[in-house]
């Protein structure tokens, strides 16, 4: 496995900056859902995992956590249809619950738009989105997002849950890939 220093072009968001922003997001969510009877965080696997575990430690109101995994239909040509398939579904019924989707990054918005369609058909009491990163200039479909950690430029990033060919999710910061130096093995 290659050392990430070989293709890291810059640290975009250092670990301490991530953590202080996550404290703010947790405080805001705690305030907004202070009167909720049934709050559930729905983490989109696998990229959202590190964000979820840090975020939930900053949320002071009782809440459940659920996991969902989705994959794009035929990554490649059909990707633009934006259809996603659920490969792991929630374990609970979200009817009448306050659902906050916890996502790592919104790029075109297609993945999240499909997830929102799927979950809103189950009639939660409320459905909101919390994303750590937002590449707003890449957006192709509108997605309502209530909580954004950081708006970032159109660069390919990795670390803190985000992968490069399934590796490097463990890094505690968000780094930018130097695409001239990174070649999948």
Give the residues lining the site for Mg ion (CB under 5 A): 47, 104
Out of 32, 107, 163, 178, pick the active-site residue: 107
Shortest reach from residue 166's CB to ligand IMP, in Å? 11
Work out whether 109 is an interface residue with ligand IMP (CB under 6 A).
yes
Using an 8 Å Cβ cutoff, are 131 and 103 in contact? yes
Closest CA to 168 of 181, 155, 177: 177
Our CB check for ligand IMP shows the closer of 9 and 108 to be 108
Q: Is 107 annotated in the active site?
A: yes
Q: What residue number has its CB nearest to Mg ion?
A: 47
Measure the CA–CA gap between 35 and 15, rounded to whole angstroms. Answer: 31
Name beta bridge partners: 17: none
Shortest reach from residue 61's CB to ligand IMP, in Å? 26
Our CB check for ligand IMP shows the closer of 61 and 90 to be 90
Measure the CA–CA gap between 21 and 23, rounded to whole angstroms. Answer: 5
Please report the DSSP string for 137-178 in residue order.
GG--S----SEEEEE--S--EEBTTB-BTTB-TT-SSEEEE-
Q: Which of residues 28-57 bind ligand IMP (CB under 6 A)?
A: 47
Which of 8, 50, 110, 145 is in the footprint of ligand IMP by CB under 6 A? 110
Work out whether 134 is an interface residue with ligand IMP (CB under 6 A).
no
Our CB check for Mg ion shows the closer of 44 and 99 to be 44
154, exposed or middle or buried, with CB in 10 Å at 0-12, 13-18, 19+?
exposed
Provide the binding-site residues for ligand IMP, judged by CB under 6 A: 47, 104-112, 156-158, 162
């Amino acid at each position: 496995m290659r050392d990430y220093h070989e293709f890291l072009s810059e640290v975009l968001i250092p670990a301490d900056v991530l953590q202080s922003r996550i404290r703010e997001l947790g405080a805001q969510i705690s305030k907004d859902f202070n009167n909720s009877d049934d709050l559930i965080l729905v983490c989109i696997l696998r990229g959202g995992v590190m964000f979820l575990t840090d975020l939930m430690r900053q949320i002071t109101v009782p809440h459940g956590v659920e996991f969902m995994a989705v994959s794009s239909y035929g990554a490649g040509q059909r990707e633009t249809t934006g259809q996603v398939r659920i490969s792991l579904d929630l374990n609970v019924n979200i009817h009448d619950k306050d659902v906050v989707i916890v996502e790592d990054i919104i790029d075109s918005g297609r993945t999240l738009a499909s997830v929102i369609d799927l979950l809103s058909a189950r009639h939660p009491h409320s459905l909101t989105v919390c994303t750590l990163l937002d590449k707003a200039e890449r957006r192709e479909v509108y997605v309502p997002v209530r909580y954004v950690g950081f708006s970032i430029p159109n660069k390919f990033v990795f670390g803190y849950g985000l992968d490069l060919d399934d590796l490097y999710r463990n890094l505690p910061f968000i780094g930018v890939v130097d695409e001239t130096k990174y070649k999948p093995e």
